[in-house]
Amino acid sequence: MVRNLHATVDGTEILKGLNLEVKAGEIHAIMGLNGSGKSTFSKVLAGHPDYEVTTGDIQFQGKDLLELEPHERATAGIFLAFQYPLEIPGVSNRDFLRVAYNAHRKGQGEDEIDVFDFDDLIEEKLDVVKMDASFLDRSVNEGFSGGEKKRNEILQMALLEPILAILDETDSGLDIDALKTVAGGVNQLANPDNAVVLITHYQRLLNYIQPDYVHVMADGRIITTGDKSLAHDLEARGYEWIMDEHRAEVTA
């Protein structure tokens, strides 16, 4: 539940009163033009230090999310699939995934699992994203292609089993096969107890993942909300008409 969220970066206001409620079992898509604040919203949810929340609040499962450090948000069940996943030279994907997984277990008051049990678990998750085991022994994202990086994000999501997954333009620039893999991963994960927010530029992803709601963002706010057909309208007619309608509403 997000209420009247305002956020700035370097003193410039990007989010200007954003409201959104996501319930368990739902899939939401947030669409909008570049600069509408979609990515900022995802980073604010994850707690990126460059973004300052000036007004508003975010409730997540009864907790005040803004009070939590980024790693606490993650272990509480929030997962952000990055638009541009970072390369971490020298840290193997396997170690990274194990450390992250154990951090989650610790956060939930469970014991860490050992290397061997982890290896069994991760092999199983690799199937979800159709990744080869050799990926595990390479440095995190180093030298990965764009599609490999995005699949690695979905692998992390599959491993960490978040309550709320936010996918920030995970579909941008993906070829059809990679897109299907990514969508398949999301569909496998989605269940009545968790929720997914898809931030996207393109309607194409929504052919593979069925959203319950489609929101349109402009100028730091959600200006309209509809069902899946709204995405089709946007694809067919562009954003201009909806912006015009919105402006008319504001004027009226």
User: Which phi and psi angles does 64 have, rounded to 5°?
Assistant: -85, 105
Residue 74 touches another protein, criterion: CB under 8 A: yes
Residue 69 touches another protein, criterion: CB under 8 A: yes
Near another protein by CB under 8 A: residue from 33, 88, 121, 190: 88
User: Which phi and psi angles does 211 have, rounded to 5°?
Assistant: -80, 150
CA 70 to chain centre: 14
CA nearest 77: which of 193, 183, 211?
193
Kindly list the distances between the CA atom of residue 94 and the CA atoms of 82, 136, 182, in Å, as whole numbers in the listed order: 19, 5, 20
Please, what sign has the CA dihedral across residues 130, 209, 86, 2?
negative
- Cβ count near 98 (within 10 Å): 22
Site for another protein in 96-155 (CB under 8 A): 96, 99-100, 103-104, 107, 139
Tell me how far, at minimum, the Cβ of 252 lies from another protein, in Å. Answer: 41
> 3-state class of 87 per DSSP?
coil
Residue type for 33, please? L
Nearer to another protein, 67 or 227 (CB): 67
Nearer to another protein, 92 or 207 (CB): 92
Nearer to another protein, 49 or 192 (CB): 49
Binding mask 31-50 vs another protein (x if CB under 8 A, - otherwise)?
---------------xxxxx
Residue 163 touches another protein, criterion: CB under 8 A: no
Near another protein by CB under 8 A: residue from 75, 83, 93, 170: 75
Please, what sign has the CA dihedral across residues 140, 144, 149, 155?
negative
Near another protein by CB under 8 A: residue from 60, 82, 118, 144: 82
Where do contacts with another protein occur on this chain (CB under 8 A)?
46-50, 69-71, 73-75, 79-80, 82, 85-86, 88-91, 96, 99-100, 103-104, 107, 139, 156, 160
